[in-house]
Amino acid sequence: MNDHLVQKRLGYALVLGSLAALGPLCTDLYLPALPTLAAELETNTATSQLSLTAGLLGLGAGQLIFGPLSDRFGRMRPLLLSLLLLLAASVGCALATNIDQLIVARLLQGIAGAGGAVLSRAVARDLYSGHDLTKFFALLMLVNGLAPIIAPVLGGGLLTFLSWRGIFGAIATISILLFVLSSVKLHETLPAERRSTGGAVAMIKSVGKLLHERQFMGLCLTQGFIMAGMFAYIGASPFVLQQIYHLSPVTFSLCFALNGMGLVFAAQISSRLAVMWGELMMVKIGLTIAAIASVILVVAGAMHAPLAVLLVPLFFSIINIGIIGPNAGSLAMQSQGRNAGSASALLGVCMFALGATAVPLTGIGGTSALSMGLTICGCFFIAILIFLTLARPTFAKKS
């Protein structure tokens, strides 16, 4: 890596982190407007929430579209295409006259938002390798980790002077700004000679090949189940902390923000420790913290512990994601050069697919601190099992 790229690392992180944040932004920014939206479109709450589900499905499916496309045609063209699609889909959301139109537009918006997420990781892999890639992923998490914290607050603020249609108009404006910023600040990072050849069949085969790579899939699924634990927390914590422990929305937001900042801080520290101890060791440390913290969380939930007792293991359950995420993601992507787009797509699909599965599990039998803890703990221990059986043996063979 040359000095020019070193100097531009923070600038790239800001642009790519903003692109990676498009997914949370599209999902979380309009959440405060859901009741108003449902009333204006004359639909019920459950049907209006299908617009959220459609967006999440799009975020998962879009990974498999833009990742292989970027391996075939380079990074910039699919990236700019995704931003144009995001603009069109956001305008479609703003102009929707019924819930069916909104759901379709939200699906397209999710697909478009996935482009930024998958391509930000692919571009990072093109530019960096080894410890530098881990550091850059940590920088991406610093920028991207703030999005889920800021988006709902920003959405609520926008609603004070905009309608729900105005929020989608704001997303359309953001897509224009990112299109201009990407065109000016980014450049093509995948030369023609390194691109995959062939048509759609070749792109599908590149994804299929990755499914048979034991180390990559071990790390991919490890990260995916760890992130599923985080989705379970995101889905259940509003009910647990506000309805059971009676926190006000403001106090809940502060707790949510504290955990988010802890995750971001852990990512920065782990990226520096990885230089001394290696990414593999950091993944092991993160999984150890995950196991201990989630078991204590289950015990606290089962005993109906006071709020202060519950929040401590919950905090450590969440911040370990900042340790495992950048390091497992870096290890998985380091082995993928030519297929970085497809590899990034599979990482994203695992996160969203497993996360979407984990969220409803917290509601079985009624959402509670115990059901949240059991789901998080279950996701973490599956991640540990996959790491021990799939990923770690491949590293042992290389040593």
**In tens digits, what is the pLDDT along the chain, a chain of 399 residues?**
445 545 566 677 778 778 878 877 887 777 667 677 878 888 876 677 678 778 878 887 888 888 778 888 888 899 999 999 999 999 999 999 898 999 999 999 999 988 887 888 788 777 777 777 777 776 666 666 566 666 666 766 777 788 889 889 999 999 999 999 888 888 888 887 777 765 556 656 666 777 778 888 999 899 999 988 987 887 778 778 877 898 876 677 678 778 878 888 888 898 889 888 988 999 999 999 999 999 999 999 999 999 999 999 999 999 988 899 888 888 887 766 566 667 777 887 788 778 777 877 877 777 789 999 999 999 999 999 999 998 887 776 665
pTM: 0.73
d(CA 299, CA 310): 9
Half-sphere exposure of 100 (CA within 13 A, CB side): 0
Q: What's the CATH number for 6-195?
A: 1.20.1250.20
CA 348 to chain centre: 7
Specify the 3-state DSSP secondary structure of 39: helix
d(CA 183, CA 179): 6
Specify the 3-state DSSP secondary structure of 16: helix
Give ranges for CATH 1.20.1250.20 in the chain: 6-195, 200-399
Nearest one of 144, 184, 153, 185 to 19, comparing CA atoms: 144
d(CA 196, CA 202): 8
Angle in degrees, 0-180, between the axes of helices 340-361 and 99-127, rounded to the nearest 10: 130
Q: What's the CATH number for 200-399?
A: 1.20.1250.20
Residues 123/215, Cβ–Cβ less than 8 Å? no
